[in-house]
């Protein structure tokens, strides 16, 4: 049983990654329906929380159906991060996560996210301040290091454990890689198998298929995996992995009707949470992924990103079901590479692999 503090997550939990502009409550709802064991909010600026910024405060919204759920914060200064931790605690999440992995320039230039990987002593002091400021279990998500010359995640893991974090998620890339190339799970495995490490270690990076999940567990010994991009428009990835790990067999892919029904739920919850205008606008980024693999879908997709009312959009989705009701999705999973999870010629090959 994998545990973070008193939170029991099962034998090999599947975590939904915190993704900016993606991991909001409507998206988390459909992922939870399909088997995500632990989910996180989009990352929240510590400075924004202290200033009472509307967008930052809205990201604190969590709902009973999501539990266990963690709120993730980022920042580059001890006092604001400690104050933000205290604000987060009042909303009663199950845990608090610190983002030390975001590679985006506007975050990094403030010494936050992956930017703090240039200053490990500061990273440790900031983490200690957050741990001290809250009664919540504190976890961290980070990367292997700043660049190939500073892949110091083994040292980082030990030092963060020593100041009180209760789990660590490692994305298998450096900051300079951004999301390019392949995630290197070798160092993730070294951290997990370090006899000094007693906390759960979760691996993140390029997990797109059940086979890759099993490889992560068997080859590198991680306590669970965190899934990000592969879940966008395809929340079934969680149930498919769980079924395969239990039975050794693949579930059939979701039908067109299943895809549309989940898309509708996502849309309705987006409108309910954000309001008609914003809910409909922000949902537009998801349609292409929900409809991936359907031939000649361009006209329908154009309507979905043009229409402005819930009724119009649902009519289009119903028309898609009618048009494609006999379409059969076929699995085209790629073979696993020897050292990498994915074939070298395509970073995202195998993600949502149905055509």
Binding residue ranges for FMN: 72, 141, 171, 228-229
Task: Give the largest CA-CA distance in the chain.
Answer: 59
207 phi-psi bin (left φ>0, alpha ψ -120 to 50, beta other): beta
Q: What is the gyration radius of the CA atoms in the chain, in angstroms?
A: 20
Dist CA 182 CA 335 (whole Å):
15
Beta partners for residue 225, in sequence order: 14, 203
Write out the two tokens for 62.
């969590």
153 SS3 class: helix
DSSP state of 37: S
118 SS3 class: helix
Dist CA 232 CA 211 (whole Å):
19
Beta partners for residue 3, in sequence order: 8
Assess whether 208 carries a catalytic annotation: no
Q: Which of 102, 208, 263, 351 does the annotation list as catalytic?
A: 102
The 3-class SS string of 254-272 reads: CCHHHHHHHHHHHHHHHHH
Write out the two tokens for 346.
């395509």
CB 23 within 8 A of CB 17: yes
Dist CA 342 CA 182 (whole Å):
7
Dist CA 18 CA 40 (whole Å):
5
Instruction: Give which of 237, 234, 267 is closest to 250, Cα–Cα.
Output: 237
Q: Alpha helices of the chain — where are they, by DSSP H?
A: 25-33, 46-51, 54-58, 78-90, 105-108, 120-133, 153-162, 185-192, 210-220, 237-247, 256-274, 276-283, 287-290, 298-304, 310-324
Dist CA 330 CA 204 (whole Å):
26
Q: Which residues are catalytic?
A: 102
């Amino acid at each position: 049983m994998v545990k973070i503090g008193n939170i029991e997550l099962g034998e090999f939990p599947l975590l939904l990654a915190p993704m900016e502009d993606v991991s909001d409550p409507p998206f988390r709802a459909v992922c939870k329906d399909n088997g995500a064991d632990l989910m996180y909010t989009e990352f929240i600026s510590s400075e924004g929380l202290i200033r009472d910024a509307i967008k930052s405060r809205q990201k604190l919204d969590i709902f009973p159906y999501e539990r266990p759920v963690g709120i993730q914060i980022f920042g580059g200064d001890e006092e604001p991060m400690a104050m933000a931790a205290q604000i987060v605690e009042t909303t009663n999440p199950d845990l608090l996560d610190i983002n030390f992995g975001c590679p985006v320039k506007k975050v990094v230039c403030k010494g936050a996210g992956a930017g703090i990987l240039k200053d490990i002593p500061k990273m440790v002091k900031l983490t200690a301040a957050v741990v001290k400021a809250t009664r919540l279990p504190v976890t961290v998500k980070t990367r292997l290091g700043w660049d190939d010359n500073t892949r110091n995640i083994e040292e980082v893991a030990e030092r963060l454990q020593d100041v009180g974090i209760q789990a660590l998620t490692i994305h298998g890339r450096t900051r300079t890689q951004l999301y390019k190339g392949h995630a290197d799970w070798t160092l993730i495995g070294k951290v997990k198998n370090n006899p000094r490490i007693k906390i759960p270690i979760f691996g993140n990076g390029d997990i797109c298929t059940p086979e890759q999940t099993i490889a992560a567990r068997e080859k590198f010994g991680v306590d669970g995996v965190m899934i990000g991009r592969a879940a966008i428009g395809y929340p079934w990835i969680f149930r498919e992995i769980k079924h395969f790990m239990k039975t050794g067999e693949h579930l059939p892919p979701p039908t067109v009707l299943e895809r549309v029904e989940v898309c509708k739920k996502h849309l309705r919850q987006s409108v309910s949470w954000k309001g008609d205008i914003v809910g409909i606008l922000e949902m537009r980024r998801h349609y292409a992924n929900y409809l991936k693999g359907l031939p000649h879908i361009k006209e329908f997709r154009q309507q979905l990103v043009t229409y402005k009312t819930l009724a119009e959009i649902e009519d289009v989705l119903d028309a898609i079901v009618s048009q494609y009701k006999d379409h059969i999705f076929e699995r085209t999973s790629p073979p696993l590479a020897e050292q990498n999870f994915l074939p070298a010629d395509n970073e995202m090959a195998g993600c949502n692999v149905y055509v």
